[in-house]
Structure 1
Amino acid sequence: MTAAPLDARLDPIADWLGGCARGDRSALKAIYDREGAALLGMATRILRRREVAEEVLQEAFVQIWRRAASFDPSLGSGRAWVFAVVRNRALNQLRDDRHVPVEDHDLEAYAAHDEATEDAFDRLAESEALKRCLSRLDPVRRKAVLLAYCLGLTHGEIAGRLGAPLGTVKAWIRRSLASLRTCMS
């Protein structure tokens, strides 16, 4: 069973993605105007370097423009799709840049964003299915999922942050995602 597509009034980004698929450049600009700052913030948290995050965001918007026709509203919201594109581009860049050292002060600033996981959860509308499904997860497992998908932390970083074994964190996230898929369908 698939979820019903969202009404464009509730998900304007889905409507704008449709515009992008039809070649409407103003639709891409509308997505950028609405979500650009949040997307840049997410990419910066993942990459820890703003200049690289800006490049990744630009590449992601090119990808959004080119692949907008592949967006399927029955699989999720337009906003989630756009954030997934940017997140995946940032994580790919991070994998490519593993040889770049991270300064201690960058790690301290990164740790300050730990509250962002709860903020992300709190910002979800009470009526939103994702919030309902996340609420059903054990709080520690929910935090692991949010750390991975809101802050872009690796399983190893999450294990260190939560003081749990790496294998346990991987199992929590895998099982939580399976639970979320079931709950959302």
Structure 2
Amino acid sequence: MSIPDPQQLKILLAAVARKDPAAFRNIYDATSPKLFGFALRILGKRESAEEVLQESFVSIWNNAASYQASLAAPMTWMTTIVRNKAFDLLRRVEHTVEIDADNFDKDVMDALESADPTPIQTLQLTQESKILAICFGRIDGLHRQAIAMAFYHDMSHSEVAEHLHLPIGTVKTWIRRGLERLRVCLKKAEGE
């Protein structure tokens, strides 16, 4: 069965919101191969992708009434659910904490409360740290995590790859792209 057009999916989601099992079966049959492939690309393990797909469809069943066509196409909405469930599983399984910009910013600010630097140095460092935290927060989550592991935990690219269960080439690409985005963001902030 091919993936229905967005209008058909909207109609099916509306029926799922009314707890129509036949509509749910139709959505599952039509979209699960694509959503499974998406989960598999993120997770790299068939069993994990199957688990995420199952959790995602439970979420789709339970939350179909909250779907808003004005905010996203049906396939985009379902793909976002799969993506979020996959990232949740990665965080649970790997026991890694993703650095989030708000916490990173607070940690930097806390570190700056040391009595050692002068007030002017602290102010300048605070502003630079805030800009760094904002730019760092704009990098994709897993890319940000790979960079943090490499630079803040002093892990080699191969250690990061092993820890994240990813190919080393992927990790190197993520770090390179993330650092490039960071450089561009910092350069823009510097020019402002």
TM range, smaller chain: 0.5 to 0.7
- Letter in structure 1 aligned against 2:143: T
Paired with 2:54 and 2:35, the residues of 1 have a C-alpha distance of 11
- 1:38/1:172 CA distance change after superposition, 3 Å: farther
Structure 2 partner of 1:166:
178
What value does the CA root-mean-square deviation take over the aligned residues? 3.2
- Letter in structure 2 aligned against 1:154: H
Give aligned pairs, total: 117
Structure 2 partner of 1:77:
73
**1:59 correspondence with 2:55:** yes
Structure 2 partner of 1:16:
12
Structure 2 partner of 1:154:
143
Q: Could you list the runs of 5+ residues in structure 1 that have no partner in the other structure?
A: 1-7, 101-144, 174-185
**1:43 correspondence with 2:39:** yes
Q: How far off its partner does 1:65 sit?
A: 0.3
Q: How far off its partner does 1:154 sit?
A: 3.5
Rg (Cα) greater in structure = 2
Q: How far off its partner does 1:11 sit?
A: 2.6
TM-score, normalised to structure 2, is 0.52
- Letter in structure 2 aligned against 1:71: Y
Q: How far off its partner does 1:164 sit?
A: 3.1
Say which SS state the counterpart of residue 63 (structure 1) adopts.
helix
Structure 2 partner of 1:88:
84
- Letter in structure 2 aligned against 1:26: A
- 1:98/1:14 CA distance change after superposition, 3 Å: same
Say which SS state the counterpart of residue 94 (structure 2) adopts.
coil
- 1:170/1:62 CA distance change after superposition, 3 Å: farther
- 1:89/1:15 CA distance change after superposition, 3 Å: same
Q: How far off its partner does 1:30 sit?
A: 1.1
- 1:88/1:23 CA distance change after superposition, 3 Å: same
- 1:31/1:153 CA distance change after superposition, 3 Å: farther
Say which SS state the counterpart of residue 176 (structure 2) adopts.
coil
- Letter in structure 2 aligned against 1:35: T
Aligned residues of 2:143 and 2:178 also touching (Cα < 8 A): no
- Letter in structure 1 aligned against 2:86: A
What are the residue-to-residue correspondences of 1:116-155 with 2, within 5 Å?
A: 154-155=143-144
- 1:65/1:168 CA distance change after superposition, 3 Å: same
Structure 2 partner of 1:116:
none
